[in-house]
Amino acid sequence: MKVHILYKFEHGPWGGGNQFLKAIRKYLINKGAYTDNHVEADVILINSHHNIRKALAIKRQNHTIRFVHRIDGPIFYYRDDGYYLDKMIFKINKVLADGTIFQSQYTRSASSARGIDLRFQDNRVILNAPDPTIFYTGNERKISGKIRLIATSWSGNIKKGFDVYRWLDNNLDFTKYQFVFIGNTPIKFKNIIHKKPMRSEALAEEMRDSDIFIFASKIESCSNSLLEALHCSIPVIAHCGSSNPEIVKDGGELFSDPEEIPNLLTKIVANYSHYQGNIHLPFLDQVGESYYRFIENILNKPQLDDTFKRMDWFANLRTASVLTWWMILRYLTSRARALFKGTRP
């Protein structure tokens, strides 16, 4: 079996989806199950709303090619253009996908509530995992001196928890804590040390040099930065919403109001080894194998016989293509508005 990931990979500092797909690609290459040429592929993995036009073109050229769709979101909850992107994602999923991978139980249930139609394909929840050659447990750490806090975000979207970071910047006792924020930010900090986005290797070193990870984003499908911190054995304090509880479990504490964070910091410091010992997450080889087995199962299942997705496939693809162009136009309009406001989606 050969898999192709239909995605434009970016190198250097980038968002979590890009980093995870790079890790899955590396896993499949090591397994001998990956091809960089989509023509040679038995199954194509598509991600969210990326490269949809090319996916449609491939389906027109080869009606029997299988597609597995990795879905995040719903985007509606944290981006201005999310309503239109979700509509496009759900339509493409219905038209193209033979199988659907959700990044968390939250994403599956929230997508169902938003109207995704899963009648015509298998679906499964598979958490993400970071590259274990980069994000791994360092030497045993003992807290001494100032407690070192860290937070990261590629996105500068204000909904990534920057109201919480602002509150901490104004109210945290910085005689006790050193706080480093790495990434893009729409606000200027007074006490928190801001560092620009950095490559994964450098970011992992920063994490291993830290004591506690602060994760304030309220709406997440399955945050890679949160997973990266936990895989470096850093206990976390995370917002209690969306998929965060599925990931954190007993490896940290959850908050709903930033005023709870100082007490939670004290609690974690007093029981540090307990929280470290309760970080339990699947590693990339387990996640990669889950992807491989799910994709293999999709490939081995017979396709629907006389119609594509029980509808005329050409009409279906034509409708999806028109819808995609319309969604792209709406997306670009919203993107221009966001850039004009000085935010990063």
For residue 4, give the nearest of 47, 30, 42, 56 by alpha carbon. 42
Residue type, 158: I
- Residue partners of 61: CB distance under 8 A and separation at least 6: none
Rg for the chain, CA atoms, rounded: 21
- What's the CA gap between 180 and 173, in Å, rounded? 14
Structure tokens at 267: 């609690």
pLDDT for the residue 16: 78
Burial class (CB in 10 A: 0-12, 13-18, 19+), 270: exposed
| Fold of the 147-277 domain | Rossmann fold (3.40.50)
β-partners of residue 34 are 3
For residue 50, give the nearest of 2, 85, 98, 19 by alpha carbon. 85
Structure tokens at 274: 């307990």
- What's the CA gap between 236 and 250, in Å, rounded? 10
89-108: per-residue pLDDT in tens? 998 898 899 999 999 999 99
Q: Are 261 and 165 in contact (CB under 8 A)?
A: no
**Given this chain, do its domains 3-129+284-341 and 147-277 carry the same CATH topology?**
yes
Peptide bond into 282 cis (omega under 30): no
Q: Are 98 and 69 in contact (CB under 8 A)?
A: no
**Residue 221, Cβ neighbours under 10 Å: how many?**
27
Angle between helices 224-231 and 200-208 (to 10 degrees): 50
Spans of all domains in the chain: 3-129+284-341, 147-277
Q: Are 6 and 26 in contact (CB under 8 A)?
A: no
pTM: 0.86
| Fold of the 3-129+284-341 domain | Rossmann fold (3.40.50)
pLDDT for the residue 143: 80
Structure tokens at 145: 């001196």
In which element (H, E) is residue 147 found? strand 147-153
- What's the CA gap between 251 and 237, in Å, rounded? 9
For residue 137, give the nearest of 30, 244, 209, 215 by alpha carbon. 209
pLDDT for the residue 167: 98
**What tens-digit pLDDT sequence spans the chain (345 residues)?**
999 999 998 876 667 788 899 999 999 999 999 999 999 999 999 999 889 889 989 998 998 899 999 999 898 888 777 888 898 899 889 889 999 999 999 999 999 999 999 887 899 999 999 999 999 998 777 787 899 999 999 898 898 999 999 999 999 999 999 999 999 999 999 999 999 999 999 999 999 999 999 999 999 999 999 999 999 999 999 999 999 999 999 999 999 999 999 999 999 999 999 999 999 999 999 999 999 999 999 999 887 544 444 444 445 555 555 556 666 666 666 666 666 655 444
